[in-house]
Structure 1
Amino acid sequence: MTEPINFNKARKALHKQQAKAQAAANRARFGRTKAEKDAEALAAEKARRELEGKKREE
């Protein structure tokens, strides 16, 4: 037979894995310099303007 599973350890391991994933997402989202944030905002604004300019008028 196989070894019995300790559900407490499995639950805690899953929680730890989810916390690490959330931390990585937060680092990517909030761990940027002001210059990086400004550059990204500028690129998003440029993309929005280009898309707006390509819309058809009806």
Structure 2
Amino acid sequence: MGDVVNLRRMRKIRDRLQKASQAAENRVYHGCTKAEKAIEHARRDAARRTLDGHLRER
């Protein structure tokens, strides 16, 4: 005879694996790391300061 399998437990494991794979896809599609966000923020600030420094006073 075969082994007894708890169907509820197997369903939960299957759902967990599906959610984990979906989360991984979403991280690739939507996300960037915290370091990448910080670098982008620093670049934006530097560009704004440079532009403001080149403005003529009225």
Q: Structure 1 length as normaliser, TM-score?
A: 0.52
Quote how far apart the aligned CAs of 1:3 are. Answer: 2.0
Partner residue in 2 for 1:14: 14
Paired residues in the alignment total 35
User: Over aligned residue pairs, what C-alpha RMSD do you find?
Assistant: 1.7
Rounded Cα–Cα distance in structure 2 between residues aligned with 1:26 and 1:16 = 15
Per the alignment, residue 5 of structure 2 pairs with 5
Segments of 5+ residues of structure 2 without an aligned counterpart are 41-58
Cα displacement string for residues 1-47 of structure 1 (whole angstroms, at most 9, x for unaligned residues)? 33201000000000000000000001001112576xxxxxxxxxxxx
* 4+ residue runs over 3 A deviation: none
Of structures 1 and 2, the larger Rg is shown by 2
State the identity %.
34
